[in-house]
Amino acid sequence: MVLSVSERTFTQEVLESPVPVLVNFEAPWCGLCRIIHPLLLQFQSQCGEQIKLVGVNADENFKLSNTYRLKSLPTLLLIENGIIRHRLEGFRGRDDLRLALEEIRLSYTNRPKAYSSSKTADLECRTA
């Protein structure tokens, strides 16, 4: 399940999150948004607790849409410590998105660990 975030909860759930957050800006009328949803759920299950996935209804959260200068939907932003690390937009379908998500997953799997070894196994993305 994807956590739904609004302008009211965005700072706490995304900008102040202790783990990187993949923010999915979407809208109910967006067909591609519905098509990629299963891929995002798969990505979330592969990464477990290492990357948090949230959804933002772009129509209902106009200030966030303007703040992040959305040009198209869906737009995915990977935000870490309040900073945009990756921006995914304008992909043509599932294959484009799958490759981009795999690149993100690998970059977080291959990064140096700053955690104690007992917690590292819980925090790494699982390869499925």
- Whether 21 is covered by a domain: the verdict is yes
Q: What's residue 94's pLDDT?
A: 84
Q: Give the orientation angle of helix 31-47 with respect to helix 94-109, to 10 degrees.
A: 20
- Whether 84 is covered by a domain: the verdict is yes
pTM here? 0.84
> pLDDT tens digits, the chain, 128 residues: what are they?
789 999 999 999 999 999 999 999 999 999 999 999 999 999 999 988 899 999 999 999 999 999 999 999 999 999 999 999 999 998 887 888 999 999 988 887 665 554 433 333 333 444 44
- Whether 126 is covered by a domain: the verdict is no
CATH of the domain at 65: 3.40.30.10
Query: Residue 64: which domain range?
Result: 3-110
- Whether 49 is covered by a domain: the verdict is yes
Q: Is the dihedral of CA 112, 114, 120, 125 positive or negative?
A: negative
Active site (catalytic) residues: 30, 33
- Whether 116 is covered by a domain: the verdict is no
Q: What's residue 81's pLDDT?
A: 95
Count of domains forming the chain: 1
